[in-house]
Structure 1
Amino acid sequence: MTMTRRAYSLFEVKAVNEEKRIIRGIATTPAVDRVGDIVEPLGVKFQNPLAFLWQHDHKQPIGTVKFDKPTADGITFEAEIPIIDEPGTLKDRVDEAWQSIKIGLVRAVSIGFRAIEYSFIENGGIRFSETEVYELSAVTIPAQSDAVITSFGKNMDAAAIAVIKSFDTGVPAASGHTGPAADVSPGVSGKTIKSVNLRPKEATDMKTLAEQIVALESKRAANAGRMASIMQKSIDENRSTDQAEQEEFDTLEQEIDQIDGDLKRLRSLEKAQAVTAKPVIANQIKTAADATALRNGLPLAPPAPEKGIRFARYAKCLGIAHKTHQPLDRVAEGLYGKSDPDLVDIVKAAVSAMTSANTDALIGNEGGFADFVEFLRPMTVLGRFGTGNIPALTRVPFRVPLISETSESDAQWVGEGKGKPLTKMGAGRTELGPLKIATIAVQTMELIRDSSPSSDVLIRNSLAKAIAKRSDLSFIDPTSAASAGVKPGSILNGVTAIVNSEATGADGVREDVQALIGAFVAANNALQSGVWVMSATYALRLMMMLNPLGQREFPGITMQGGTFFELPVIVSNYLTDYVALVNAEDIWFADEGGIDIAMSTEASLEMVDNPTQDSGAATPVDSELVSMFQTNSVAFRAERTLNWARRRASAVAWMDNITWGDPVVTP
């Protein structure tokens, strides 16, 4: 997101060409303006010629302007206001603008720009290090204290030079800051010089340094304007100033001297209190509302929660709403109205509770809970296929007939006029039906009512980790056999393991790897789709193997995976002493893509990981149950629907009882 702003900055008219209506001056400097902002001149980008506008109104162009090369001190410019002979609105506008500038009524300019790079200053301002300027405007009063205009008209001499250093309260900077109303009454006649009263009225707050400077500058501008008027009047009447005019002029001049001294002291104090800018966190400002909030000292909208957290928050709100008989949106508003307002909107838009009848409300774009699936996938062996440099499994839909290969077909070279040999591929027919991995996580109502991030994380992790563990073990554990209508068999189940070397050192590792890759290639598996799957323990052991020079024997592997003999590695905490080499393309995988969740505060549960309950059993099995109502607990049931199968048995090669890195046992 970018911001569009205005910077009322230094404008010194160095020359005025009456015949061509050319004005030269300074468009911007690195000085701090009245709202505390700084525009770095060397970071300004522009494309000449630019539009020269009247009071920042894009509907009132008055000419064109060209910027000179930026310097560290500022950017000079040359603007031209055209001379129009044809009567009409345009002529009236440009003539008014030229006359206002020429006689000193309008003595400042302001750049309109788009922020590209910026950082925040702790005192509330913004340092714009890179900007794109797209227009320059003639304005009545600038916001920058260094804005100095010296205008020479046809009937003016050096005595009529006016200096303006004030803040335009009528046209505030784009940040939204406005200056206080200033006393702009002309100076009074007489020799007595009154100090400028900056004391606040009763029941008002003390003025800040910036406000005091603004008030003094406004008073100074009023005095300077009145002095110019006195001199202009005598010139227009072709006479010298009378005594009263001289006294008033001298009084105003002395007041300006006094104000200049006070301004110098206040600016020194302001400079001493200035704090250098601190960098903006990357992507901190995402909307115009964020920028406005920061400039006005308000907090930013809360950041989006981590993946999976919103899913856990929804589940908590559902539990409390069910337990307390409150509307779901009211619970969400009470718990997360400030920290996660998007969740409240999701809850209000939801049609029904989180059940399998409304999966889209959980995982689709409407519900916003796809982040839980994204949180879960990297935790599983299945989820890491197809990420980074790891080949993907072959995705197939549920309940679609699939042809598996039980033996390979072959072809032969054939001479001219010779018969072509026949070949027959052994084939099998199968399909992947939807099967479910389920877990029930029990939490106390006290934890559910806690809206702290730590309680959200506990619920998210308890649901995700249980599913991840069962998914990994079922997918890769060679002892996990298929159960019709319940679960698929492991991709290693039914495949004979390769005999390991029983060696413990690096040479033994190489010997075992050679055997595994040899079997994998002999089965016509493509190495480019080969993926190692092993436990974190053996990944660590391989990392710790060093050669005699103290260098790692297998530098590619890490605890997060990496590569092993130039093939990608997937690491799981749930594997034991076996390593597999998997042809990802030859593994079918069907996934519904989401997570279903239901909850209860009244159910009675077997608090074990292998429950004996079976609704289809003729005789129920007696077991000890725990009441959620009696223990003031909430049970969340999470289910994931998926299935997998090997396209052919030789799609994997694996080795059991590996001894890599085992300590040497001395007889």
Structure 2
Amino acid sequence: MNYQAQLAQINATIKAKHAQIGDIMTKSVASGHTPSDDDEATITALEGEIARLEKNAERLQKLIKSVETAPNPTEIGGENPEQAKASAEGEPIPQTTDQTKSVKVESNLPQGIGFAQMARAKALSSKLASKGDFVSAADIAKSCGMHPLVIAELEKSAVVMDTTNSGVLVPTSPLVNEFIELLRAQTIIDKLAKYMRAGDFNATIAGMATGATSAWVGEGDPKPVTNATFNSVELKRHKVAGIAVLTDELSRFNKFNGDRRILDDLIESNRLLLDLTFIDDQAQSATRPAGSLHGATIITATGSEEAQIKADLAKLRQVFIKANLSLTGAHYIMSETRASEWAELTNPLGAPVFTGLQAPTGEKTLNGLPVIESESASNIVELIKPSEFYLADEGQVEVSYSTEATITMPNKTLVHLFQENKEAIRAERFITWAKRRPMAAAAIKYED
């Protein structure tokens, strides 16, 4: 019990004893006479106890005042005399089991919204800095009422690294990971990534273009000579950038729908470019990886009837079989529209022609092989073997901001950010891929 608690208890006792004296006097007045000898003795005893208690109360008040004015008051804690003594001597106050339990703060934000808020705070900070007003992204997040986890991530990223705290010089942000997870759930390349071979940026990998041959050899017979050919696969350092253009008002105010729009625009722009690049037939350049159909066999579709579709698919599979490439692990890539159309095809008996295409999205199959759906594959059906690809993915996103640039929109119109009082947030991801062998993919092409 501390001094304040003792003083409160004494004051309560004094009040109770005064009440007892009051009761005795009230009874005497009501009966019309002075207190009896017994009542006088009781009152005298109570007054003596009150005087003693008041002296103790005065002492406690002085002690409390001295503690409050002391330069470094020492708080005494502990659950037993030994811990109390150690605490009084300056050792840390022992903590109870409940006090030592760690507290984990979990986000109640929809996935990816925290990343959008973080990007918006950094964008506002950069804009103010360009005008000479230096306000940290963390302070902006606080003033806008952003989620505590967003504020914590921004404060952590603002810490200057030195020899005392450089355990992780580039810490992985869970908010960035949320954005990456959302993006990976939507792109063709990321859906195939787990089946691909790991590669490194700016690396050249030697490989075999055509297979070697072997044979059983009898004693004294000549050994067979192989005609295997070799190639080298180069993985450059490519990056894909998604840009979200927003008005100045949208970036300034803490609107959930605004954060959702930023997130959706960044994901959609990245997804569209990654999908279109991965399934095209363009060669690798300094700014982009080669499409999976570069140098691949392209079959012209013969029609949309059941027999024609089946014949074209058989030709497509024969490309792999003739190249001695197993179909194990292969995937089809087609648009959701085409998958839905083929799922509705029935034979003369009314049974579905392609029953595997009637499964839910993500579970569809065709000829026993998994199907990946993307509207970017509007005029092709591609057969691809992901294990014949190398993939290099940094797994991080860099966020940049501008109010001065001129942006070319998807419809080819130009947006002058400064003139139209708009801002742009850019999310860049370092990722590239390359085919291990040219025959790793083939496709059927349909008329637009």
TM-score, normalised to structure 1, is: 0.47
Q: Does 1:626 align with 2:416?
A: yes
The 1:542–1:321 alpha-carbon spacing in structure 2 relative to 1, beyond 3 Å, is same
Q: What is the identity, as a one-letter code, of the residue corresponding to 1:380?
A: T
Question: What letter corresponds to residue 315 of structure 1 in structure 2?
Answer: A
Q: Structure 2: how far apart are the matches of 1:405 and 1:529?
A: 20
User: Structure 1 residue aligned with 2:228, among 422, 425, 443?
Assistant: 425
CA distance 1:362–1:538, shift in 2 (3 Å): farther
Q: Is the 8 A contact 1:320 1:449 kept in 2?
A: yes
Q: Structure 1: which amino acid aligns with 2:205?
A: L
Aligned-partner Cα distance in 1 for 2:417–2:248? 13
Which amino acid counterpart does residue 434 of structure 1 have in structure 2?
A: R
Show the counterpart of 1:384.
191
Q: Which residue of 2 aligns with 1:460?
A: 263
| Larger displacement relative to structure 2 (467-476 or 442-451) | 442-451
Cross-structure match for 2:297: 496
SS of equivalent to 1:349: helix
- Give the drift of 1:451: 2.2
- Which residue type is aligned with residue 321 of structure 1? S
Report the CA distance between 1:431 and its aligned residue: 1.9
Counterpart of 2:148 in structure 1: which amino acid?
Answer: P
Give how far 1:492 is off.
0.5
The structure with the greater share of residues assigned to strand is 1
The equivalent residue for 1:476 is: 279
Partners of 1:308 and 1:491 in 2: CA distance: 29
Say which of 547, 566, 570 aligns to 2:372: 570
Matched, 1:605 2:406: yes
Residue identity opposite 1:432 in structure 2: L
Instruction: Give the whole-Å Cα distance in 2 for the aligned partners of 1:304 and 1:381.
Output: 29
Q: Which amino acid aligns with 2:416?
A: V
The amino acid of 1:553's aligned partner reads: V
Please state if 1:487 is matched with 2:288. yes
| Counterparts in 2 of 1:366 and 1:463: CA distance versus 1, 3 Å | closer
Distance 1:362 1:625, change over 3 A: farther
CA drift of 1:653 comes to 2.1
1:63-86 per-position Cα deviation (integer Å, ceiling 9, x unaligned): xxxxxxxxxxxxxxxxxxxxxxxx
Equivalent position SS for 1:376: helix
The equivalences for 1:36-435 within 5 A come to 303-324=107-128, 325=133, 326-337=135-146, 340-351=147-158, 364-366=171-173, 368-386=175-193, 392-435=195-238
Q: 1:513 to 1:627 in 2, by over 3 A?
A: closer
Shift of 1:503: 3.0
Following superposition, the deviation at residue 407 of structure 1 comes to 2.5
Cα distance in 1 between the residues matched to 2:223 and 2:290: 40
What's 1:508 paired with? 308
1:528 is aligned, of 328, 340, 343, to 328
Shift of 1:334: 2.7
Aligned CA distance change for structure 1 residues 608 and 418 (closer, same or farther; 3 Å): same
Describe the SS at the equivalent of 1:371: helix
Distance 1:313-1:362 versus aligned 2 partners, 3 A rule = farther
* Aligned residue number for residue 442 of structure 2: 653
Equivalent runs, 1:553-592 vs 2, <5 Å? 553-557=353-357, 558=359, 560-561=361-362, 562-592=364-394
Contact 1:401 1:431 in 2 (8 A): yes
Give the 3-state SS of the residue equivalent to 2:298 in structure 1.
Answer: coil
Q: Deviations over 1:635-657 (max 9, x none)?
A: 11222212111111111121112
Q: Which amino acid in structure 2 is aligned with residue 413 of structure 1?
A: W
Secondary structure of the residue aligned to 1:595 is strand
Question: Cα deviations across residues 88-107 of structure 1 (Å, max 9, x unaligned)?
Answer: xxxxxxxxxxxxxxxxxxxx
Cα distance 1:303–1:547, how it changes in 2: closer, same or farther (>3 A)? farther
Q: Report Cα offsets for 1:378-419 as digits up to 9, x if no partner.
A: 1110011156xxxx1112111222113332211122123322
Instruction: Classify 1:643/1:352 alpha carbon distance in 2 versus 1 (closer, same or farther; 3 Å).
Output: farther
Distance 1:593 1:523 in 2: 34
Residues 452, 552 of structure 1: CA spacing in aligned structure 2 closer, same or farther, 3 A cutoff? farther
The match for 2:433 among 644, 651, 654 is 644
Task: Give per-residue Cα distances to partners, 1:438-457, cap 9 Å, x unaligned.
Answer: 23321112111232322111
Structure 2 equivalent of residue 542 of structure 1: 342
In structure 1, what is the Cα distance between the partners aligned to 2:152 and 2:325?
50
> How far off its partner does 1:505 sit?
2.2
CA contact (8 A) 2:316 2:444 kept: yes
CA distance in 1, matches of 2:314, 2:367: 10
Q: How far apart are the structure 2 equivalents of 1:417 and 1:306?
A: 73
Does the residue aligned with 2:222 lie in a helix, a strand or coil? coil
2:169 and 2:393 map into 1 onto residues whose CA distance is 16
Aligned-partner Cα distance in 2 for 1:633–1:657: 40
Contact 2:243–2:425, Cα closer than 8 Å, also in 1: yes
Distance 2:189 2:197 in 1: 11
2:299, 2:415 → 1: CA distance?
A: 45
Aligned 8 A contact 1:380 1:468 in 2: yes
In the aligned structure 2, how far is the partner of 1:607 from the partner of 1:634? Answer: 13
- State the distance in 2 between where 1:444 and 1:363 align: 31
CA distance in 2, matches of 1:386, 1:435: 16
Shift in CA distance, 309/475, structure 1 to aligned 2, threshold 3 Å: same
Q: Structure 1 residue 371: deviation in Å?
A: 1.0
Q: Distance in 1 between matches of 2:159 and 2:402?
A: 15
Q: 1:361 to 1:493 in 2, by over 3 A?
A: farther
Rounded Cα–Cα distance in structure 2 between residues aligned with 1:380 and 1:491: 14
Which residue of structure 1 aligns with residue 72 of structure 2?
A: none
SS in 2 for 1:594: strand
| Contact 2:233–2:434, Cα closer than 8 Å, also in 1 | no
Structure 1 gaps, min length 5 = 1-287, 290-299, 354-359, 612-622, 660-667
Please give the secondary structure, in 2, of the residue aligned with 1:311: helix
Question: Relative to 1, partners in 2 of residues 1:319 and 1:565: Cα closer, same or farther, differing over 3 Å?
Answer: same
**1:498 CA drift (Å):** 2.4
CA distance in 2, matches of 1:436, 1:331: 29
Paired with 1:312 and 1:397, the residues of 2 have a C-alpha distance of 29
For residues 553 and 559 of structure 1, the distance between their equivalents in structure 2, rounded to whole angstroms, comes to 17
Cα displacement string for residues 90-142 of structure 1 (whole angstroms, at most 9, x for unaligned residues)? xxxxxxxxxxxxxxxxxxxxxxxxxxxxxxxxxxxxxxxxxxxxxxxxxxxxx
User: Percent of aligned positions with the same letter in both sequences?
Assistant: 28
Q: Per-residue deviation at 1:544?
A: 1.4
**SS state at 2:114 partner:** helix
Give the whole-Å Cα distance in 2 for the aligned partners of 1:394 and 1:640: 19
Query: What code does the residue aligned with 1:369 have?
Result: V
The Cα offsets for residues 462-516 of structure 1, whole Å up to 9 and x where unpaired, read as 11111111111111023xx12531112211022231243x232222222122111
**Does the 8 A contact of 1:534 with 1:569 survive in 2?**
yes
CA RMSD of aligned residues (A): 3.0
Query: How far did residue 361 of structure 1 move?
Result: 10
Q: Greater helix share, 1 or 2?
A: 2
Contact 1:363 1:369 in 2 (8 A): no
Q: 1:449 to 1:551 in 2, by over 3 A?
A: farther
Q: 1:438 aligns to what SS in structure 2?
A: strand
Shift of 1:377: 0.9
> SS of 2:296's equivalent?
coil
Query: Which residue identity lines up with residue 349 of structure 1 in the other structure?
Result: K
Does the CA contact (< 8 Å) of 1:361 and 1:367 recur in 2?
Answer: no
